[in-house]
Structure 1
Amino acid sequence: MIKTIQSHYNYDEVIVWLEKKGSELYGTQFKIVEDDHTIIYKLIAYFLKDEQTCFQLNVNLNKGVMLSGPVGCGKTSLLNLMKYLTPTDNKFYVKPCREISFEFIQDGYEIIHKYSKGKLYSSEAKTICFDDLGTENNLKYFGNECNVMAEILLSRYDLFISKKLITHITTNLSATEIENQYGNRVRSRLRQMINLIAFDKSVKDKR
């Protein structure tokens, strides 16, 4: 598949550049292995907004990206690297879901607003990559239990429909596990909101 891609970008050169940048950020042990190239080509095409290649790889530029795979396969590192490829108008930041859950304990339901519609008095919601979806817990604020990430994702779905707000996610959960943890409504809406890009379950832990 990779050999037949026609694009004005040289994807092999981009991968060499990403590996060099990864070494700067994560140390000289960082490598992009050839077995992951199919995944990485899709990510590069999406984040460079390479319409021709995205069409060939069946990636929808109007949706976000969910990068799924086993623990240690490099999901977070790759999404952090993609920030350096993304055009200014499509910049995003990476936010660990566990940190959001801790903020909810501290600040309550305002946190759901913060990560969906934006901070109070802010006029524009932001593109966010929610890192490690599934590692946070249902938490209580003044005795009321809340599935914080489910509420944030449902709110962002409404903004995806009305304002084309993009959401990215990394997770090691399967589709069934997402439904079990967040409910059928969230799973259904994620299908509309994201491109699923998945590592094989047998991929080795790179740590």
Structure 2
Amino acid sequence: MVNPCKIVEEHKTYDIGTFDGKEVMYDFEKILIYLDVKGKMCFGNGFKIYEEDHPIILKLCHYFIKDKENCEKNEIDPNKGILLSGPVGCGKTSLMILLKNIVPLQKPYILIPSRNIVFGFNHIGYKTIEDYGCRQFFCFDDLGVEPIGRHYGKDCNVMGEILLSRHELFINHHIKTHGTTNLNAEELEDLYGNRVRSRMRELFNLVAFDQDTSDKRK
């Protein structure tokens, strides 16, 4: 039987909890140790888990391990995706890259910068939007700072259209979508319009860093 609490990285095993064959008991301190190791593997030895970020990491861990009791306390719906917001450099992208690794038996998502999707649209057109209307799980990074798409002289709010498609997938087939953004709800609505914003409320749980969170890139 596969033990979901044991994760092997470079021939070393990390225990992030205990498993009795039926129930998993995760250990947040052990998860933090693993995330620090995995972060250094992914981003270099300068990577660090900051103590000030522990509360938001804990909230996200509750979501990913499907801890229903704590999700309910935090008003998080485990059936919806995550929209992780916060100021530039606070670590949103890094966390979304790392956290899927603590649940290796769950279907993984692909993280892709929103601006790259728009560049693809500019090159090949509306097939790009169709390509993201599939059953793959995605995390759209930096939602809201991508440029407006343009193909053969016609402008298109590419990510807005993709979010509408992803909402249909969620409603009809329970396909999750995640995202990160530097923008607040009002700014997203100004960018994508009220129709898309209302769909985003159904599509995502909003989890936000404090606006005073430090820029880790400095």
TM-score by structure 1 length?
Answer: 0.90
The answer as to whether partners of 2:118 and 2:149 remain within 8 angstroms in 1 is yes
Aligned sequence identity (%): 48
Question: Which residue pairs with 1:3 in the alignment?
Answer: none
Question: Which residue pairs with 1:62 in the alignment?
Answer: 79
Q: Alpha-carbon deviations, 1:141-164, whole Å to 9, x = none?
A: 111110000000011111111111
Query: Which residue of 66, 74, 78 maps to 2:95?
Result: 78
Question: Which residue pairs with 2:58 in the alignment?
Answer: 41
Question: Which residue pairs with 1:122 in the alignment?
Answer: none
1 or 2, which has the higher strand percentage? Answer: 2
Relative contact order, CA 8 A, sep 6+: which one is greater?
1
State how far apart, in whole Å, the 1-side matches of 2:99 and 2:44 are. 17
Corresponding letter in the other structure for 1:60: D
The answer as to whether partners of 2:117 and 2:128 remain within 8 angstroms in 1 is yes
State how far apart, in whole Å, the 2-side matches of 1:53 and 1:133 are. 27
State how far apart, in whole Å, the 1-side matches of 2:25 and 2:106 are. 21
Equivalent pairs, count: 194
Q: Secondary structure at the residue paired with 1:32?
A: coil
Corresponding letter in the other structure for 1:205: D
Query: Which residue of 187, 199, 214 maps to 1:177?
Result: 187
Question: Which residue pairs with 2:208 in the alignment?
Answer: 198
Gaps of 5+ in 2: 1-23
Structure 1's 61 and 175: CA in aligned 2 closer, same or farther, altered over 3 A? same
Q: After the TM superposition, which of the residue ranges 62-71 and 83-92 deviates more from structure 2?
A: 83-92
Report the Cα offset of residue 87 of structure 1.
4.0
Report the Cα offset of residue 173 of structure 1.
0.6
The equivalences for 1:99-178 within 5 A come to 99-116=116-133, 118=134, 125-178=135-188
Report the Cα offset of residue 43 of structure 1.
1.2
State how far apart, in whole Å, the 2-side matches of 1:88 and 1:135 are. 32
TM-score by structure 2 length?
Answer: 0.85
Q: Secondary structure at the residue paired with 2:190?
A: helix
Report the Cα offset of residue 80 of structure 1.
0.3
RMSD, aligned CA: 1.3
Q: Secondary structure at the residue paired with 2:141?
A: strand
